[in-house]
Structure 1
Amino acid sequence: MSSKILAVSAASLMSVTGFSHAGNGSESQIPITSLSAFNQTVSEDHTVTKNSVSFKNGKIDMAGVLFKPARMQEGKAYPSIVVVHPGGGAKEQTASLYAYRLAQQGYVALAYDASHQNESGGEPRLLEDPTSRVEDARSAVDYFTTLPFVDHKRIGALGICAGGAYAINATMTDHRIKAVAGVSSFNYGDGMRKGWRGTGTADELHATLLSVGLQRTAEANGDQPMLLAYVPDSTKGVTEPDMVEASEYYRQASRWKLDSQPNRFLASSNDKLIAFDAFNGIGTLLTQPLLLIAGSDAGSKWHSDRAFAEATSASEKELFVIPGGTHMSLYDRDVGKAMPKLLAFYAKHLR
């Protein structure tokens, strides 16, 4: 097993990965920092096709967007990557941005809505259930195996934020996934138990559990479900820098706001999230190659640090730190700094 931690300046990314021109997802590409700009870019790019698809997760109909190279050779099977969106996100946002960049480089890439959320089915609506989220990723792999142009032996996974931890957890028990990468990974269970920066107290945790119990009792006796915001609806009064950026990203129409995503989840999700640990067993179960990418200034970087430290059985592992990067910068403006490392990683393990 090999492992390493890299902190590489933006200027040296090209020499590290060997990518040297603007069409390869490198830092020289102009960042796409809004949903409208992304949709326009994709519509004008004739090298990539984008199609709405559906697949099954048990009885649930899952909604996805499939990105493919436009000039695929008939009869050829291509390496493919499942892309898992953040908590509170949707397939059209950063998951599609990464999927699109991967398709530009010859990969088939699938972004999809989590079950119970957005255009995917599942009741109750707006549930953030980590067990379901992990099964979503496995079901996406199932879907890949039904496509004749996908090489079943070259399937990878990529997740952003909570999706990064969900993707890693799915890979631990689904060895059809040959390599996994997490960008700004956020282990939702750790985050709920310890707070965004890992400084939460036991009293705060138990207060949350008490409120969940009271809410479940109220709903069992006829009250309406309570909905909570994933991120602040506005930046007013918000002091946590990552949450300021998150609010701008998700809630401003000039950024990546999606009208169909209400930025809400069921309060009754919290007990499930608190009981979940995406990295439990990672030292034994994860044998595939692992790449973690995090910003040096991200309040969530400690999640990537933990995964890197505990993934002792991974055949190869690397923590790639982007100086000056934040949690949210890797959703859009620093995607060009992450892509060369991702492309080198998947080229090595899926080509």
Structure 2
Amino acid sequence: MDAVTFSNGQITMAGNLYLPDDFDATGSHAAIVVVHPGGGVKEQAAGLYASKLAEQGFVALAFDASFQGDSGGEPHHLEDPYARVDDVRAAVDYMQTLDYVDPERIGTLGICAGGGYSVNAAMTDYRVKALTTVSAVNIGTSFRRGWYGTDSDAAAVPTLKALAGQRTAEASKGAEPTFLPYVPAEPDENTPRDLVEAGDYYLTPRAQHPNAKNKFLFTKSVSRIFTFDAFHMVEDLLTQPLLVVAGSEAGSLWMSTELHGRARSPKQLRIVEGGTHMDFYDVPKYVDQAIAAATPFFRENLTGESADGS
């Protein structure tokens, strides 16, 4: 694994580049950009997937989102969906500068909100030739309608009114900026199972990392998140092959099935029995199944190699 940096406009992005064991710098390799979940950093799930994809022969990049982790951008701890989508494009830019990467064979794999971001990026960047989502989340829709998608979009209004009040307090009264947690630090009986498991992942030695602070700026993030729809116009603009992987027990499953149902490009849906949303972050049984599905998919769509190796 090599630590790398690349430019995204005025922001310097930080990434980890994973190379195959039999890497040949004079070759021309297929490459995959791995997009981390909301609240994650490159050293967590994204890095795990990138390392496993490298084991399968791909050049793979995991990177920190702008305004997060080791990447630049101020204010830090900003979750801006539009910036996150542009991050994916910048990562593709970087991959195309590498002499050993075939610029016509670049794909993406996005986890959780990173899945939604990678879909949105692919709809307007056809340099992405194939994409896989794992436990996909459409972050704007999820914030508006709740984890299970049972609320109306109008359920966002009370939060937006609170946001307006906080902006006024910060602008005219000198109030300090406030932050929201990505996952609840103290779940209760009403907390969805996936989010309880997310707390175990992010907030314990299981996957805790000093750059993943479990916080994002309230006023500067929420207004951007609530108006974002990662799947807007997916029916018409997504033309690339798509693989959707999710667990049968994930509360977020509805977002994966919606994406698969709406997409008109060549598509596959792999629902893994018994898997929850968080199982696909680091539980070997489920990560290995996601990689087992993604490997032949990317080989066929990035290298032209069929599932049987022909």
TM > 0.5 between the two? yes
**SS of corresponding position for 2:7:** strand
1:262, 1:166 → 2: CA distance? Answer: 21
Higher relative contact order (CA 8 A, sep 6+): 1
Amino acid in the other structure paired with 1:186: V
* Alignment partners' CA distance in 2, 1:184 and 1:123: 29
**Alpha-carbon displacement from aligned partner over 1:306-327 (angstroms, at most 9, x marks no partner):** 1111112x1x101110011110
* Number of aligned residue pairs: 299
Out of 63, 72, 75, the position equivalent to 2:14 is 63
> Residue 72 of structure 1: which of 10, 20, 23 is its match?
23
How far, CA to CA, are the matches of 1:239 and 1:58 in structure 2? 39
Equivalent in the alignment of 2:207: 256
Amino acid at match of 1:257: Q
Write the letter of the residue equivalent to 1:322.
V
> 2 CA distance for matches of 1:305 and 1:212?
31
Alpha-carbon contact 2:88-2:118 (below 8 Å) kept: yes
- 1:271 maps to 223
Counterpart check, 1:304 vs 2:243: no
Amino acid at match of 2:150: T
Percent of aligned pairs sharing the same letter: 49
Mapped pair 1:117 → 2:71: no
Query: What are the superposed Cα offsets for residues 275-312 of structure 1, whole Å, 9 maximum, x if unpaired?
Result: 00000010110000001001001000111111111112
Distance in 2 between residues matched to 1:200 and 1:144, nearest whole Å: 40
TM-score normalised by the chain length of structure 2: 0.94
Give the deviation of 1:199 after TM superposition: 1.5
| 2:240 corresponding residue in structure 1 | 288
Residue type matched to 1:320 in 2?
Answer: R
Give the alignment of 1:164-243 within 5 angstroms: 164-201=115-152, 204-221=155-172, 222-235=174-187, 239-243=191-195
Q: CA deviation at 1:260?
A: 2.2
Paired AA for residue 331 in structure 1: Y
Aligned to 1:155: 106
Give deviations 1:250-280, integer Å, cap 9, x for gaps.
Answer: 0002x00002221000112111101000000
Report matched runs for 1:88-99 at 5 Å: 88-99=39-50
CA contact 2:21–2:57 (8 Å) conserved in 1: no
Correspondent of 1:322 among 266, 272, 291? 272
- Unaligned stretches of 5+ residues in structure 2: 304-310
In 1, Cα distance between the equivalents of 2:56 and 2:154?
49
Amino acid at match of 1:323: E
Q: Is the 8 A contact 1:238 1:244 kept in 2?
A: no
Q: Structure 1: how far apart are the matches of 2:23 and 2:263?
A: 36
3-state DSSP class of the match of 2:43?
A: helix
| Residue aligning to 1:331 | 281
Q: Does the Cα contact within 8 Å between 1:234 and 1:248 map onto a contact in 2? A: no
Pair 1:196–1:120, CA change in 2 (3 A): same
Q: Is the 8 A contact 1:134 1:170 kept in 2?
A: yes
Assess if the C-alpha contact under 8 Å between 2:144 and 2:154 holds in 1.
Answer: no
How many angstroms apart in 1 are the aligned matches of 2:153 and 2:64?
33
- Give me the whole-angstrom Cα distance separating, in 2, the residues matched to 1:276 and 1:240: 23
Extract unaligned runs of 5+ from structure 1. Answer: 1-49
Residue identity matched to 1:273: I
Structure 1-normalised TM-score? 0.83
Alpha-carbon distance, 1:73 to partner: 2.0
Structure 1 residue 96: Cα displacement: 0.3
Alpha-carbon deviation of 1:239? 3.5
Task: Tell me the distance in 2 between the aligned counterparts of 1:56 and 1:332.
Answer: 29
Q: Distance in 2 between matches of 1:319 and 1:246?
A: 24
Q: Give the 5 Å matches for 1:29-48.
A: none
Q: Whole-Å Cα distance in 2 between the matches of residues 252 and 154 of structure 1?
A: 37
